[in-house]
Structure 1
Amino acid sequence: MAIIDLGDVSAPDFPEEPPEPARPLTRRGIVRVVAAVLAGACALALNGAGRPAPPAVTETWSTPIGAQNWPHTMNDTVLVIHGDPGTEQETTAYDLVTGQVRWTADDPTLTSWLNPDPDSNQLYAPARIRSYEAADGPAYIGADTRAVDVRTGKVRWDSSGDELAATADEVLLGSRDDRGRVTALHLVRTTDGTAVWDRPIAATDYLVVSEEPGDSTRIVAKSTNGELTTLRWADGVPLASRRVTPPTAYGWGPQVLGGQFYDILTGTPDSTVVAYATDTLTELWRFPTSGETSVQDCGPVVCVSDTHLTSGLDPVTGERRWKLPSGNTTELPGGRLLLTGSRGMADAQSVLDAATGRTIRVAPAGKQVVPLDDGRLLALGDTRSAPYRVTISEWDPDTGRATLIGAVPGRSDTCQAVGQRLLCTGSGRLGVTDLGPRSR
């Protein structure tokens, strides 16, 4: 079924208004006008189809931010680092729901480098930053770690070592040598930084812990001379070790997914993905690729993207089930994928069946498709005349139907979805919109 044209969903021209001031406008006076325009557009487009248009969504709260600043969300907190890199910066934490400022800090060790962990609701920041001379120029690493409570901004503890990975209960820290290589591991508790275990390891630039809870019980390190080792997270005990091809300094992006470790041997023009059983490091299969390569969990398949193709591989055998022009994949409910940047176009998007690679629906042209946690897909567009806004439609890939539900300030290419909220920036402001439950 073809996509139902809701007039021009991407650009329902709103009445001309003067440019917005730096501080957010009160929405009370314009909500009725916007709602009326949107409702009219939906009614005309649906041509009496019988289903009433849902109420228009409006922005919940907004705040000024720098044109180059980007919001980072963690659970119910939004973090914004104000200021330009290299200048005095300030970190502000906002309540995601209300926009209330929770805390502000101008500590440069907090603003220059933050590593958030949603499971423990803590930020991990280096107490200081070290530099060293790498093969391709100066490089920078964290030295010593401080844990910050994201809700209060208070430092909970300090510990030696650079933060490498974290779970709800523990944090993995690494000691580094003067070349930036990790030479020892330290597991500490998230609550107070007390030690769980310490273990020296062969010097490595490459260490992997999966972000998935089921895989985070293992640590895989690849030494600079090509020794691959799996250690148990709970006590640091080595489980397996083997000699493999040494890593290259550029493009190495291994993953631990579903109990398997995926090593990436990057070359020019040819590369290879090698799959190992994480606990035993038994080689399972190899898959040839080209150029810089990434591996991602795509539900029933493992997605491997290289310079030219995105392929869906059987995780057990490595057999390719499907291939498409290279793009970025996002897993969706129901065994589906959102593929972005395929078909030779940087902004092209389509919804696929993950098992077969079959295209279910190509996304509406000129729209930015964003998934919500509840399974909905939003198709975001931009108005073509002032005041410039992001148009928001709920898009159903099964039918191709796009239902316009509102418009908010910003640009569609700056928007990100968090839970059932949409965060958009543009013109030096951040706006947050609560999209509420499904409209149908």
Structure 2
Amino acid sequence: MAIIELGDVSAPEFAEEPLVPASSRHRFGFVRPIAAALAVICALALTGSGQPSPPSVTESWSAEIGLETWPYVFGDIVLVSSGTPGTTPDIAAYDVVTGRVLWTGHDDQITQWLNPDPDSQQLYAPATVRQVVLPDGNMVFGLDTRAVDAHTGRTLWQRSGNELAATADQVLLGDRDDQGRVTGLHLVRAADGTSIWDRAIAVTDNLVVSEGPAETARIVAKSETGELSTLRWSDGVTLARRQGSRPDGTLGWGPQVLGDQFYDVRTDAPDTTVIAYRTDTLTELWRYQDTGEVYVQDCGPVLCVNDIHLTNGVDPATGVRKWKLPSGNVTPLDHGRLLFGGSRDMATESSVVDAVTGRTIGTAPHGTQAVALDDGRLFALGDTRTAPYRVTISRWDPVTGRSELIGAVPGRSDTCQAHGQRLICTSSGRLGVTDVG
């Protein structure tokens, strides 16, 4: 790990063409949707004339990591796990502020399968992994769970049952049969793995858990016969049952729970049906028809139904579509706004949109994308065209269209992710962290 000196990164050195005012035209981009949203920017446009001010942001710290390695950032830790499936991984945990190495490990009891939980600041990994061949493909699953303290790398506890979901204080584990199906549930304490409750359930291939406080969290499962059931997180008591659509081996199932609604997403290519139920009672509320493989996302005043290329803004109370926009990558912002990501490959731009109407509020400068920080600020990231290659960072205001260059750091913009008030970028086996607060 070392501090990287950037030298002179003033605009004339890395802008190979005149800087021009941001375009006022509204355009939308196409991008593949991902768990965590990434943003990239290809070129930089500044309003007004004359030379920009010298950059004011430089990289805070960096570290050499393995090629084809992607860091996972949660809380105040950057976790890096390298290796290939079936091999013992090299694991390193860094303090996101200082870059100090908190711990490293080469542990044959920790598989490549790590599931960090930001609330408990623990890592959950199966110590025993099984792979089975099923008619529709291979399935890999864990038979037990090992809990690791993310700050020290110390094992806290290990017990049978595959980790399914977690809160700051509790972990839901599932017993799996020889085909990977869940047959029983156990809620345990995150601190020591002590059992809180145990329940046998009807065999299911999948189940989902709502987010939010433990006292209001719900578990929804679908049995092999198509029966839906809702269980209370706190004690495992069944709140409701109803017969849903009978599973079909040719159908894909993507269940989700958002707030007080459960979404049964069934794909029979090329068509998809989203059925909305009340989570607690399993009362059917509405049905929505679409094409392609979709997932649902909480977008504030609307429900976003996304596929790879499109986002539909749907009324969560009725299932009526209010608007459709050509981008599948959406990040909810404050004040009822949405950030739509662009794509360098498709030469499309990022934009900020009103969630209720789908109206464009502002489009990022030509050839750029935007990334949102936790505090709501928007930044535009670009790439220099000559060596040494760096990521340019600009503040961007979608209402006025103004962008202001504030710095440049090593790396490629298409590898950068935002976390808190920091940008984490990787390139050629190198990790760099920049504080833009």
Contact 2:3 2:61 in 1 (8 A): no
1:382 is aligned with what amino acid? D
Deviation at 1:39, TM superposition (A): 12
Once the two structures are overlaid, the 10-residue window that deviates more, 361-370 or 109-118, is 361-370
Partner of 1:379: 380
Contact 1:230 1:279 in 2 (8 A): yes
- Cα deviation 1:404-425 (Å, max 9, x = unaligned): 1100000000000110010000
Partner of 1:148: 148
Contact 1:38 1:404 in 2 (8 A): no
Pick closer, same or farther for the CA change 1:416–1:274 going to 2, 3 Å. Answer: same
- Cα deviation 1:322-345 (Å, max 9, x = unaligned): 112241211111111112359994
Contact 1:248 1:266 in 2 (8 A): no
Partner of 2:94: 94
Deviation at 1:231, TM superposition (A): 0.2
3-state SS, counterpart of residue 256 of structure 1: strand
Partner of 1:168: 168
Partner of 2:229: 229
2:388 is aligned with what amino acid? P
Normalising by structure 1, we get a TM-score of: 0.87
Deviation at 1:54, TM superposition (A): 7.3
Structure 1 unaligned regions, length at least 5:
1-22
CA distance in 2 between partners of 1:108 and 1:286 (Å):
47
Deviation at 1:85, TM superposition (A): 3.5
What does residue range 38-437 of structure 1 map to in structure 2 within 5 Å? 47=48, 53=53, 56-213=56-213, 217-248=217-248, 251-306=252-307, 309-340=310-341, 345=346, 348-436=349-437
Contact 2:347 2:367 in 1 (8 A): no
Partner of 2:9: 34
Partner of 1:15: none
User: CA RMSD, aligned part only?
Assistant: 2.7
Deviation at 1:137, TM superposition (A): 2.7
CA distance in 2 between partners of 1:308 and 1:414 (Å):
20
Bigger fraction of residues in helix: 1
Deviation at 1:169, TM superposition (A): 1.1
Contact 2:46 2:402 in 1 (8 A): no
CA distance in 1 between partners of 2:88 and 2:242 (Å):
47
Pick closer, same or farther for the CA change 1:54–1:209 going to 2, 3 Å. Answer: farther
1:240 is aligned with what amino acid? A
3-state SS, counterpart of residue 221 of structure 1: strand
Contact 1:247 1:265 in 2 (8 A): no
- Cα deviation 1:31-83 (Å, max 9, x = unaligned): 4x225868999999665799x84752000100111220010012001011123
3-state SS, counterpart of residue 413 of structure 1: helix
Contact 2:209 2:257 in 1 (8 A): yes
CA distance in 1 between partners of 2:47 and 2:405 (Å):
11
Contact 2:110 2:125 in 1 (8 A): yes
Deviation at 1:346, TM superposition (A): 7.7
Contact 1:35 1:56 in 2 (8 A): no
Once the two structures are overlaid, the 10-residue window that deviates more, 128-137 or 385-394, is 128-137
Deviation at 1:223, TM superposition (A): 1.1
CA distance in 2 between partners of 1:79 and 1:403 (Å):
32
Structure 2 unaligned regions, length at least 5:
21-44
CA distance in 2 between partners of 1:315 and 1:336 (Å):
16
2:255 is aligned with what amino acid? P
Greater relative CO, 1 or 2 (CA 8 Å, sep 6+): 2
Once the two structures are overlaid, the 10-residue window that deviates more, 246-255 or 382-391, is 246-255
Pick closer, same or farther for the CA change 1:311–1:104 going to 2, 3 Å. Answer: same
Contact 1:120 1:167 in 2 (8 A): yes
2:134 is aligned with what amino acid? A
3-state SS, counterpart of residue 158 of structure 2: strand
Deviation at 1:84, TM superposition (A): 3.5
